Structure 1
Amino acid sequence: MQAAKNALRWRLLLLSCLLLESSSQDFGGQTQFICTSVPKNMDICAATLQNSVPGDDVKTTVMQLRETVLQQKETIMNQKETIRELTSKLARCESQSEPGDARPGGRRKDAGSKNTMGDVSRGPADTLTQLSQTLQSLKQRLENLEQFSRSNNSVQANSLKDLLQSKIDDLEKQVLSRVNSIEEGKPGLRNETEQRGRVESTLTSLHQRITDLEKGQRENRPLDKFQLTFPLRTNYMYAKVKKSLPEMYALTVCMWLKSNASPGVGTPFSYAVPGQANELVLIEWGNNPMEILINDKVAKLPFLINDGKWHHICVTWTTRDGVWEAFQDGVKRGSGENLAPYHPIKPQGLLILGQEQDMLGGGFDATQAFVGDLANFHIWDRKLSVGEIYNLATCSSKAQVGNVFAWMETSLDIYGGASKWTFEACRQLN
């Protein structure tokens, strides 16, 4: 029995020596270990640690490794926290960069959301598309003038046409340059607002010169035989009536309209006075029906006109009880009361065709702009009878013109590329 115990002790001692030798090899073999005998009653492990210096080194190394592992664990935890924080910030940024939901129903929008060259939701590419379409419209007018000049042998018209064609070519180069700037992300885009203003100014100048050239076409036509065309939904095409409206306790507004714009044809006209931008407005905006506003009070009108055909519409109103009536193509379609009762239409305002004013003479919003054709716009300071309105809609010889505002080319100033064309309502109906 004693012999077996001694043999086990020697085997354990030999195993300890082998383990220590292996440790010495791991550390580059710079140390050596010697197996020695130990007293009978002494613990082998204790004796090994006591008599072997490398054992202390191993213990120290293990402690250092343990400390290193703890430090790395702490570092990993910190990095995980940083990753979570960055992921959260990224998610917030992505949610803010996504397009917002459509603005809920309603007529007016905050003035701070205004765009300078089109729909508030549109980017530079859409703006450039609008400019290109405007240029195409001007080109079409030049082609018409070219045909006119050929038929009339007008040398002056030809020279002006060539000059305007050169101007349009320059504008097309500017549009192309802006496209390239957008694609390449050039720093020059910081001056986009200034450049956009120059382009708008050039377009207005081009329109004026083309209008002067078109005078040769209208020398033989009456001044009321014309239409205004607003081909694009922008916030810079409009016509301004040169004189203000008087104070009115009743009124009738009539006009010819043609549009296929959707959703909503926009704002055929708006009249603003100091302190009230919505003194008198006709608007069809978004998915809402057409509305007449007086002193910012609203009545919904039963008009359906965005089918691309000419329609004659009239709205009558009296301040007493705010009674109103709506006529389309000579037929009464609706009526009501309590529309701004006992509120007279105020004088000293500004009448704009094609845009809705959020402030006196400005604050135009492209989403509320009129798109289409407008003609024979008249205003009376009284309520027309059913027969008088029918005569207007059927081009009767008994039809009257507005005593407050009558449709005449000399009564309007046009801006932003809106154009004038010859128009005769009776001929369009036949």
Structure 2
Amino acid sequence: MLAFLGAIICIIASIAPGSPGAVPGAGDEEAALYGTAGGAGAVQGAGAVHGAEGDRSHPTAAGKASATSHLGQAPALGSAPDLGTTRRFLCLPLAQDCPSPSVREDLLLLRSTAAHLHQMVIQQEEQILHDQETIRELTGKLSRCESGQELGSFQNHPEEYVWDLGRSSLEDGTGESEQTVLQLENTIHSLKNSIENLEIQELEALLLSKLSELEKERSSLHNKGDRQRHRLEEQLEALHQRIEKLEKETAVYKLQEGYKISFPVRTNYMYARMKRSLPELYTLTICLWVKSKGTVGIGTPFSYAVPGQANEMVLLEWGKNPIELLINDKVTRLPLEVKGGEWHHVCITWTTRDGVWEVYQDGKQRGSGDNLAPWHPIKPGGTLVFGQEQDVAGGRYDATQAFVGEMAEFNIWDRILSATEIQNIANCSSSILGNVISWDGSSIDLYGGATKWPFQRCSESKDLGEN
């Protein structure tokens, strides 16, 4: 490097005439010999400055003087007195012990570069050793996997193998590990988002499927319910038509043939109502045929209510109490026994004078008394209901007080019938119609499932008496 720099400086000095590096000397051959003896940095001398290349004559005195004036430092460069008479230049080698500042900086740069390269070589050797260790570890795992030793462990814990590979790749280098971690994080986030999107899509699809199935099921149930409701409506319509037909058929029966009203179950909506109301009454007689099917009390065969007084006139047996007769909400107990599912003829007489009353069962007097709502006439314009007890006029029924069974031949007179008349009605020897209320099929409306049936009162009572 120093020889190269010396040659460059010599060339520059030979080109520039006034350069301090040009010295007088002998011809080309002498300059070469001198440069060779001076050191390895010598170079060939330059040619003559004046004259053509082929002019080899000596210069004039003026030329010599000029040459001498330009080479004022010549004596310091050599000891031979005749060197000042030559026109040739000689390049001296640079001293190797004293490099210039620029050369020193180059040396420092070269040294630092060499040290850096040496450090890189050491890092590469360490990386190669680490890679070899990783390759040996992976080769051992691969051998165990091929032999089947870690197959079960891989199936049970596959994430451990994935983490080992990722960890090995992260430990390969310092500069690339952070980038690799970022790439893995981005990949994990992307996979997580993809999984969440897939799960949401699957859930949405599942929900839509379930909703579709529920909608179909609801539609099917709705259609099925519509069909069932339609069938029930048809059956109810058929029953209503049958009831109307029976009512029309029974309406043509004569009174001696008669009909009965049936109340099959105990409810608060099954009843019959008389279309006509009662006039004001001071004396009365009520007779009817009754067959109770109730196990605890017969309930209410009939009730008459007026505005402001729901218990204007009521025949009632409720719970374990005896049969009671209420007039204007005043009560008296009647010694009657009409249970057991048998037909019985019942008659009641009452007068407002002193409130005197009498009761008959199957043509025989069972009891009498007085002071039952004395001097109180039966008020007109009320509602007469069969099978229910009225808490208000025409409604608010109680199922526990409902009548269960059958009744027929309900008649009211505005006078007191004699004991003989009552006995003749009971044993079917005569038939007397009530002059206030008579048992006429066209005068009664049925509600809630109460029905009318043909009734042969005398034949049934005789058969019952014979049995």
Q: 1:252 aligned to 2:285?
A: yes
Structure 2 distance, partners of 1:301, 1:345, is 19
Matched residue, 1:282: 315
Write out per-residue CA displacement over residues 25-71 of structure 1, whole angstroms, 9 at most, x where no aligned residue.
xxxxxxxxxxxxxxxxxxxxxxxxxxxxxxxxxxxxxxxxxxxxxxx
Determine which structure has more spread, i.e. the larger CA radius of gyration: 2
Aligned pair in 2 of structure 1 residues 206, 236: CA closer, same or farther (>3 Å)?
farther
Match of 1:304 among 337, 342, 360: 337
Query: Does the aligned pair in 2 maintain the 1:207–1:419 contact within 8 Å?
Result: no
Structure 2 match to 1:422 = 454
Distance 2:303 2:230 in 1: 33
Q: CA deviation at 1:262?
A: 1.7
Runs of 4+ in 1 over 6 A off after TM superposition: 171-174
Is residue 382 of structure 1 aligned with residue 412 of structure 2?
A: no
Moved more, 348-357 or 258-267: 258-267
SS for the counterpart of 2:389 is coil
Match for 1:357: what amino acid?
Q
Q: CA RMSD in A?
A: 2.1
Residue 391 of structure 1: how far off its partner (Å): 1.0
How far apart are 1:206 and its partner, in Å? 5.9
State the 1:213 CA deviation. 2.4
Contact 2:251 2:441 in 1 (8 A): no
- State the Cα distance separating 1:367 from its structure 2 match: 0.4
Amino acid at match of 1:378: N
| d(CA) in 2 for partners of 1:309, 1:378 | 20
Match of 1:235 among 268, 280, 291: 268
CA contact (8 A) 1:324 1:335 kept: yes
- The answer to whether the 8 A contact 1:257-1:375 is kept is yes
| Cα distance in 1, alignment partners of residues 387 and 241 from structure 2 | 21
Say whether the 8 Å CA contact 2:250–2:259 is kept in structure 1: no
TM-superposed deviation, 1:221: 2.5
SS in 2 for 1:320: coil
Contact 1:207 1:417 in 2 (8 A): no
| 2:149 alignment partner in structure 1 | none
Q: Give the superposition deviation at 1:220.
A: 5.8
Pick aligned residue for 2:398 from 350, 365, 383:
365
Q: Deviation digits for residues 337-384 of structure 1, max 9, x if unmatched?
A: 000000000000000000000001001000000000000000111111
Contact 1:246/1:347 (8 A) holds in 2: yes
Q: Amino acid of the residue matched to residue 243 of structure 2?
A: T
Q: For structure 1, which segment, 388-397 or 292-301, has the greater mean C-alpha deviation from structure 2 after superposition?
A: 388-397
Paired residues for 1:12-411 under 5 Å: 170=228, 208-215=240-247, 217-218=249-250, 221-222=253-254, 225-397=258-430, 399-411=431-443
Mark the CA change 1:281 to 1:210 in structure 2 (over 3 Å): closer, same or farther: same
The verdict on how the C-alpha distance between 1:380 and 1:173 changes in structure 2, with shifts beyond 3 A counting, is same
Q: CA deviation at 1:214?
A: 2.0
TM-score normalised to the size of structure 2?
0.48
The 2-side partners of 1:172 and 1:376 are apart by 38
Distance 1:275 1:229 in 2: 30
> The residue matched to 1:286 in structure 2 has which SS?
coil
> Deviation at 1:299?
0.7
CA distance in 2, matches of 1:386, 1:253: 13
Q: Does the residue aligned with 1:321 lie in a helix, a strand or coil? A: coil
**Contact 1:252–1:314 (Cα < 8 Å) also in 2:** yes
1:245 is displaced (CA, Å) by 0.2
How far, CA to CA, are the matches of 1:267 and 1:221 in structure 2? 27
**Number of the residue aligned with 2:35:** none
- In 2, Cα distance between equivalents of 1:263 and 1:215: 31
Superposition TM-score, scaled by structure 1 size:
0.52
In the TM superposition, what is the alpha-carbon distance from 1:424 to its structure 2 partner? 1.5
State the Cα distance separating 1:209 from its structure 2 match: 2.1
**5+ unaligned residues in a row in structure 1: which ranges?**
1-168, 175-198
* Bigger Cα displacement from structure 2, 209-218 vs 274-283: 209-218
Partners in 1 of 2:324 and 2:290 — Cα distance? 15
Identity %: 56
